[in-house]
Amino acid sequence: MTALRGQPGSVPLKISIVCLTLAIACGTLFSLATGGRTDVGLADIFRPDGLARTVLFDIRMPRTCAAALLGVNLGMAGLVLQAITRNPLASPAILGINQGAALGLTLGVVLPNTIDLPLDFYALTGALTAGVVTFAISGGFGGKIDSLRLVLGGVAVGAFSYAMVRFTYTLDDDIARSVIRWTVGDITDIRWSETKRLAVWAVPGFLASLVMAQRFNLMALGQASARGLGADPRITLLLGTVVAAALAGASVTVAGPIAFAGLIVPHLAKFLFGGDHRVLVPTTALLGAALMLVADGLSKTLTAPIEAPIGVVAALMGAPWFLWHTIFARDVS
């Protein structure tokens, strides 16, 4: 198990928290300093008024906050999924949860007059349905999760949801116009209202994960041991699915399905801080925020003046990692 191979405490926790906070600070500055207007820089924060201030406070800052929150959400969702499936390849994108949320969201947009509910609700329902279907395919609710079935089932659920999403785009030209940038994960147009929507889900999701950290630790011992110690693995699975679906669904509503961030952040956290989820939950959140802030800065600078959407940057960072892990990790299947 990767989860227990690293030595907890090999890096003193206080130092690592300080390092992470520093990384977040650097990432924030990087993300704030870059953008379409190259003449606006960090020094303009202290300027009392004018265009530069508007650019910083109303355009760049909500986007920077959103990037950090997305990192928290997706990192937590990945960590929770990896813990409850005991599978290092689990993540919202690979298990089809992101795509399910996208499908729910698209249905919510296409069928606006049927039921008047906020879009978040549709995305969450889609994410939850996709997660439950994938777990049902892998045999999770009957007892033992089959590792390979989990991944292949997730790929199938994802492919199906995505086909449905593309199908609805075919029906409506106006939605089709925004399809590319939305499906690859784009946060260019984010303002404070979207950022608030992310935060509303990030905080309870994080707290719930923190409360469940001990359950996740018991899951790592194996389903039988977890049951013996009084934590029914099926309940953990169900609660974890709800938390992960809420976090991933909220991210998808705001930024589209961002792949791979949910996969690599928990791995990096486990590599650095060991396998205790009570430590992992806060550190994964911090690490996710730091990583997505850097990805946001890169997305603005890498191919300037055209922006590479943040989801694409995350995918380019994450795909090699996934490949490396499937080939060399010992604990797959």
Residue numbers of the site for other proteins (CB under 8 A)? 89, 137, 146-149, 151-153, 155-157, 159-160, 162-164, 166-167, 170-171, 179-181, 184, 186, 259-260, 303, 306-309, 311-312, 315-316, 318-320, 322-323, 325-328, 332-333
Minimum CB–partner distance for residue 318 and other proteins (Å): 8
Minimum CB–partner distance for residue 315 and other proteins (Å): 4
Residues in contact with 6: Cβ distance below 8 Å, sequence separation at least 6, in sequence order: 270, 271, 272, 273, 274, 275
Minimum CB–partner distance for residue 86 and other proteins (Å): 16
Residues in contact with 294: Cβ distance below 8 Å, sequence separation at least 6, in sequence order: 27, 30, 31
Minimum CB–partner distance for residue 160 and other proteins (Å): 4
Between 13-33 and 277-301, two packed helices, what is the crossing angle to 10 degrees? 20
User: Closer to other proteins at the Cβ: 24 or 165?
Assistant: 165
| Whole-number Å distance between alpha carbons of 223 and 204 | 26
Report in angstroms the alpha-carbon separations of 280 from 58, 217, 277.
Answer: 33, 10, 4
Minimum CB–partner distance for residue 274 and other proteins (Å): 25
Report in angstroms the alpha-carbon separations of 262 from 37, 151, 312.
Answer: 31, 15, 14
User: Closer to other proteins at the Cβ: 146 or 175?
Assistant: 146
| Whole-number Å distance between alpha carbons of 290 and 265 | 10
User: Closer to other proteins at the Cβ: 24 or 130?
Assistant: 130
> Could you count the other beta carbons within 10 Å of the beta carbon of residue 117?
10
Asked if residue 185 lies in contact with residue 309, where contact means CB atoms within 8 angstroms, the answer is: yes
Minimum CB–partner distance for residue 326 and other proteins (Å): 4
User: Closer to other proteins at the Cβ: 154 or 240?
Assistant: 154
| CA 113 centroid distance within chain | 30
User: Closer to other proteins at the Cβ: 168 or 214?
Assistant: 168
User: Closer to other proteins at the Cβ: 18 or 163?
Assistant: 163
